Amino acid sequence: MRTRLPIPATWQDFEALCLQLWKQVWSDPNAQPNGRSGQAQAGVDVWGRPIYTAHLAGVQCKDKNGNLGSKLTKAELLRECGRAKSFSPRLDVFTMATTAPRDAPIQTIARAERYKRAYPFQVHVWSWDDIEAEVASRPTLVEAFYPRAPNQTIESTVRIAASAPRDQFWAFFSRPSIDQALGDLVRDSLIQVAYELCDNAFLHGKAKQVRLEFDGAKLAISDDGVAFDATSALDAGKASAAGHLGSLVFRSFVDRYAGRIGVGYERVRANDGVAHNVLTFNIGDEARVESVPEVMDISVDLSAIFSRRSAEGLALSLAIPTGIKELVITVGNTQIISGSSEFIRHMRQRLPDSVELTVSYPRGHFLGEIAAFFAEQRINFRPR
């Protein structure tokens, strides 16, 4: 049985805990507090650069424990989001970390703001339930902040909030017990497909809760949404820059790991009587030890891109493992120069500065004419 960790006694302790937690979640040892007490902080207490994006992320630490049972309000969340707009350089993700308990309405608001694109960053909320689960899964943090806590079984599950923050997926898969059991390539691929499946469950399946569980050789994703068998219902043939990208991500994953990762589905009824979709990934030894290549080559069809949103959606749907040194994008069909340019720009933004980006295009194609526009963004254009 696992003992619950208590909420820090002061806001200073809570902020210190958040700093160390997000250093691990982001895999950024250089993440740091934003200024000091009394200084204008633009709504951000902790900032850093996650390993999976080229942009900055920020966390606002909101201590609600001073008033027992108090909740984070919509007004508080939106006010802090408004303040974070002035943070420079601009944020890609803004997270409200609070000692308040998990609250479905506030998670729904965060998700709505994300889909409305009301701010120049994604909006996420981490409740104390979310924070405590991650801290309890990291022995170094427990030892540093809870030295008197009894030894306990490491948490192997996580409940994903309705706003489905990508940070929660990276946090779960970066837990030491999981990180040590999976190779980087299969881990990053599982993160991508799990994120798409959970996003689909919330957006289309009307799920209120998604749960991830890993036992060392099997990942299980369960949700309480409408009955949906991803193994047969997702049609990758419908995928385009405008939609159904999750179907393409899932089918590409299944095809890539055929014979090494078995995927199964069942509809089960939980102890509370609620029916759940349960998708399982049985991970073979060969998949777990697969190493990340230095150079990764992906082919894309840009003919259906007509807007900034479709370009960004396609860029975010591609599974890019951490650890590669160069990404080569082989461009096939294209029609709209502005859409293609936006896709290339978003791909550059996704990659750390240390990763080289090369665009391979047909000889005589218009992409060669705009290569000079990307000279300062460290993108190599190569005709073939």
pLDDT for 248-302, tens place per residue? 788 888 888 899 999 999 999 988 788 999 999 999 888 777 767 788 888 877 7
**What would the DSSP string read from start to end of 19-82?**
HHHHHHHTT-TT-EE-S-TTS--TT-SEEE--TT-SSEEEEEEE--TTSTT----HHHHHHHHH
* One domain for residues 261 and 133: no
> Domain for residue 19, yes or no?
yes
Residue 140 forms part of a structural domain? yes
pLDDT in tens, 157-178: 888 776 656 788 888 988 888 8
Find out whether 45 and 53 touch, Cβ atoms under 8 Å: no
Domain boundary among 107, 134, 153: 153
Same domain, 84 and 98: yes
Do 215 and 254 belong together in one domain?
A: yes
pLDDT at 179: 81
Q: Specify the pLDDT at position 38.
A: 46
Residue 208 lies in a domain: yes
- pLDDT at 268 (0 to 100): 92
Residues 82 and 119: their CA atoms lie apart, in Å, by 8
What is the predicted pLDDT for the residue at 36?
59
Predicted pLDDT at 337: 73
Last residue of a domain, one of 291, 307, 338: 291
Confidence (pLDDT) at 68: 47
Q: For position 113, what pLDDT does the model report?
A: 80
Same domain, 240 and 356: no
Whether 237 and 342 map to the same domain: the answer is no
| CATH code for the domain in which residue 287 is found | 3.30.565
Residues 279 and 314 in one domain: no
The ranges of the chain with pLDDT < 70 are 1-2, 36-41, 54, 65-69, 151-155, 162-165, 236-245, 291, 303-304, 306, 333-336
Distance CA 228, CA 223 (A): 10
Do residues 302 and 270 share a domain? no
Q: Is 171 among the domain residues?
A: no
Residues 355 and 211 in one domain: no
pLDDT score at 304: 66
Predicted pLDDT at 192:
83
Q: Would residue 16 count as lying in a domain?
A: yes
Q: What's the pLDDT score for residue 163?
A: 61
* Domain final position from 235, 267, 291: 291
- Return the pLDDT at 132: 92
129 shares its domain with 11 = yes
Are 316 and 252 in contact by the 8 Å Cβ rule? The answer is: no
Distance, in Å, from the CA atom of 383 to the CA atom of 379, rounded to the nearest integer, reads: 13
The residue among 249, 260, 363, 253 whose CA lies nearest residue 313 is: 249
Q: Which two tokens stand for residue 279?
A: 């998708």
Does 301 share its domain with 255? Answer: no
CB 158 within 8 A of CB 129: no
In a domain, 26, yes or no: yes
Kindly state whether residues 205 and 338 are assigned to the same domain: no
Q: Using an 8 Å Cβ cutoff, are 327 and 351 in contact?
A: yes
**Total tally of structural domains belonging to the chain:** 3
CATH code of residue 12: 3.40.1350
Domain with 226 in it: 181-291
275 and 326 together in one domain: no
* Stated pTM of the model: 0.73
**What are the strands of the beta sheet with 379-383, ordered from one edge?**
295-302, 326-334, 356-361, 379-383
